[in-house]
A and B are shown apart, each in its own frame.
Chain A
């Protein structure tokens, strides 16, 4: 796509600058290779399970280029991508996936609970929907303190059917809070297609009206369209105009979790979506727009090296000391409950 403006439900926007496009591509490639490397470690039996977002990288990448200091990200257990997209170092992220002492959470979090408060990565949550009200509270704090920071909350299509989703969006809407709810609609909850268990076609967008919000649906494999929708929503939030609910339609190439082959999905469907893989698609678009392919290849090679280093770092890192078992239940670092 080389036109200077693009269309999306969020309105007509300029195409992102070439630096931004490059950044988005870089993040997508980082996430892709990170996830692939981690899956290899998983398959070799050296780490516990987790949830990859191979095929869904464009969403994290688009928001990643737009969020800055003070902005907050809330993710689900499928949160490796969103962690990297906030600039959290690969080494510590990989180490946390492997439960090492050098990990982001000292090995106590693991794949499903990646947190780096310093980077605005406020955590990945493993109970469906729980983080939507929490993100609402973070946005409440921004407004309370008069800051123009925004909170972005990612979740899956399956999450739109749990109560906390509805409570959180209503609260954010009545209080006009600077929070953006982003449904990564990969069309499956665990193993069940979302359409089998949802009465509307678009699980998030079709419900937006219930909370007084516009319905925003975006192609979740198109970084440029995502970038446009995200910047509109972020602008709206920073301007005090309240929350947005964005549905990004995408697909996970692999199963739900690392040991799931995802066989419950028709092969034609998988093939079709792999044919729309956002990483090569976007590369082709950038090349068409004049970015030398060699530059992108070189960038990719460097990323592969960094991912290898992160894997080496994590695998060589010590396991947590057993006495950390008893630390940090309380804010003073302690765990004792009696005096």
Chain B
């Protein structure tokens, strides 16, 4: 099953499971989504539960918030990650702070989903990864699946979660394929996965970078360097138990993130590792990121910005050379 089809199946599964779940966004109903991730849902669930909206990001996210505070379980689609920023007041000032400011009177069970990331030559305003910004706001959960099975399991977990979840679908992964078991899949937020075992170094990645890290690890293995790869999957809550355990066993940490270097999530993970298990490290942690630039359109430039399999391999080799 493709990642794209998994998104549809995930939403369908949750809408069948709970009548309070509805989908709202631009072009999600009749057109089936600009990324073709919501086709067929209108036919099955009708216009009461699958709603096309005007181009009104604040209204969409605000309506989701109001509905969540009134007992529903909205899934709001923002299309491109970049457009979340158009409604960032609602996200960071209103939704994220609701439970805290009301002293627990108004927790908000809602999901805001959007397509993030580069690789499709969409240029600077349609390619951003916003996970690190969102995770910096107390009150938001941030989930970024890298496989079709995870899309379904984590979407279910997100929709059933009592808190607001920002659900990051990577547009570069939409046509990627993966095994998906039959039946309902429900995962858990806050669980990282060791997707490749290895002795020599731990590579921590999210979203599209997971596949690239795995590929790099395969090549490195052929050269005799055995890397472990962790798919973080959920950035908030963050499974530091799995990450710390992994780094303890390998002594080396490499983070691979697709966002500008300043204040990336990799910095947080490196900081936790250095603070808490410094003595297990046999080398300084290494971060692989995009440079501190907006993502360019031209293929040759975009490819040079986003961490590639080659860059991951070279960086890991370099880290070894330094020891």
Task: Say whether A164 contacts B58, CB under 8 Å.
Answer: yes
Query: Is B169 an interface residue when CB atoms closer than 8 A count as contact?
Result: no
B residues neighboring A (CB under 8 Å): 22, 48, 51, 53-54, 56-72, 74, 89-90, 93-94, 98-107, 109, 138-139, 162-163, 190-191, 236-241, 272
Task: Say whether A139 contacts B238, CB under 8 Å.
Answer: no
Q: Give chain B residues whose Cβ lies under 8 Å from the Cβ of A168.
A: 56, 58-59, 62
Complex A-B, nearest 9 residue pairs according to Cβ-Cβ distance, in ascending order: A133-B62, A137-B66, A331-B107, A141-B70, A331-B162, A137-B63, A167-B59, A167-B56, A106-B103
Q: Give chain B residues whose Cβ lies under 8 Å from the Cβ of A113.
A: 101-102
Q: Give chain B residues whose Cβ lies under 8 Å from the Cβ of A109.
A: 101-103
Q: Give chain A residues whose Cβ lies under 8 Å from the Cβ of B103.
A: 104-109, 324, 327-328
Task: Say whether B93 contacts A144, CB under 8 Å.
Answer: no
Q: Give chain B residues whose Cβ lies under 8 Å from the Cβ of A134.
A: 62-63, 65-66, 69, 90, 94
How distant is the Cα of A167 from the Cα of B86 in the complex, in angstroms?
12
Cβ of A160 to closest chain B Cβ, rounded Å? 15
Q: Give chain B residues whose Cβ lies under 8 Å from the Cβ of A117.
A: 102, 105-106
Task: Say whether B66 contacts A141, CB under 8 Å.
Answer: yes
Q: Can you add 5 more A-B contacts, CB < 8 Å, to A131-B94, A175-B51, A328-B103?
A: A127-B93, A137-B69, A137-B70, A337-B236, A339-B240
Task: Say whether B66 contacts A136, CB under 8 Å.
Answer: yes
- Name B58's contact: one of A105, A133, A140, A324 (CB within 8 Å): A133
Q: Which residues of A (298-325) have their CB < 8 Å from a CB of B? A: 324
How distant is the Cα of A202 from the Cα of B144 in the complex, in angstroms?
47
Task: Say whether A108 contacts B100, CB under 8 Å.
Answer: yes
Task: Say whether B101 contacts A115, CB under 8 Å.
Answer: yes
Q: Give chain A residues whose Cβ lies under 8 Å from the Cβ of B56.
A: 133, 167-168, 170-171
- Chain B interface mostly helix, strand, loop or mixed? mixed
* 13 residue pairs bridging A and B, Cβ less than 8 Å apart: A72-B70, A108-B100, A117-B102, A123-B98, A123-B102, A137-B64, A137-B69, A140-B72, A328-B100, A329-B99, A331-B104, A339-B238, A339-B241
Q: Give chain A residues whose Cβ lies under 8 Å from the Cβ of B190.
A: 339
How distant is the Cα of A72 from the Cα of B60 in the complex, in angstroms?
19
How distant is the Cα of A132 from the Cα of B71 in the complex, in angstroms?
18
A residues neighboring B (CB under 8 Å): 72, 104-109, 113, 115-117, 122-123, 125, 127, 130-142, 144-145, 151, 163-164, 167-168, 170-171, 174-175, 324, 327-333, 335-339
Task: Say whether A115 contacts B162, CB under 8 Å.
Answer: no
Cβ of A58 to closest chain B Cβ, rounded Å? 27
Task: Say whether A137 contacts B67, CB under 8 Å.
Answer: yes
- Name B163's contact: one of A108, A130, A331, A336 (CB within 8 Å): A331
How distant is the Cα of A140 from the Cα of B23 in the complex, in angstroms?
12
Cβ of B67 to closest chain A Cβ, rounded Å? 4
Task: Say whether B107 contacts A139, CB under 8 Å.
Answer: no
Most chain A beta carbons < 10 A, residue from B53, B66, B89, B138: B66
Q: Give chain A residues whose Cβ lies under 8 Å from the Cβ of B104.
A: 327-328, 331, 333
Most chain B beta carbons < 10 A, residue from A107, A167, A168: A167
How distant is the Cα of A171 from the Cα of B56 in the complex, in angstroms?
8
Task: Say whether B63 contacts A140, CB under 8 Å.
Answer: yes
Task: Say whether B65 contacts A137, CB under 8 Å.
Answer: yes
How distant is the Cα of A113 from the Cα of B100 in the complex, in angstroms?
11
Q: Give chain B residues whose Cβ lies under 8 Å from the Cβ of A136.
A: 59, 62-63, 66
Most chain A beta carbons < 10 A, residue from B62, B72, B238: B62
Q: Give chain A residues whose Cβ lies under 8 Å from the Cβ of B22.
A: 144
Task: Say whether A171 contacts B59, CB under 8 Å.
Answer: yes
Q: Give chain A residues whose Cβ lies under 8 Å from the Cβ of B71.
A: 141, 145
Task: Say whether A337 contacts B237, CB under 8 Å.
Answer: yes
Q: Give chain A residues whose Cβ lies under 8 Å from the Cβ of B238.
A: 337-339
Cβ of B41 to closest chain A Cβ, rounded Å? 16
Query: Which residue of chain B is the closest to A149 with respect to CB atoms?
Result: B70
How distant is the Cα of A106 from the Cα of B101 in the complex, in angstroms?
9
Cβ of A229 to closest chain B Cβ, rounded Å? 23
Q: Give chain B residues whose Cβ lies under 8 Å from the Cβ of A144.
A: 22, 48, 67, 72
Most chain A beta carbons < 10 A, residue from B106, B109, B138: B106
Cβ of A82 to closest chain B Cβ, rounded Å? 16
How distant is the Cα of A104 from the Cα of B57 in the complex, in angstroms?
31
Q: Give chain B residues whose Cβ lies under 8 Å from the Cβ of A130.
A: 58, 62, 89-90, 93-94
How distant is the Cα of A327 from the Cα of B89 in the complex, in angstroms?
23
Task: Say whether A339 contacts B239, CB under 8 Å.
Answer: yes
Q: Are A133 and B90 also in contact (CB < 8 A) when A115-B102, A115-B105 are?
A: yes
How distant is the Cα of A141 from the Cα of B48 in the complex, in angstroms?
11
Q: Give chain B residues whose Cβ lies under 8 Å from the Cβ of A324.
A: 103
Q: Give chain B residues whose Cβ lies under 8 Å from the Cβ of A141.
A: 66-67, 70-72
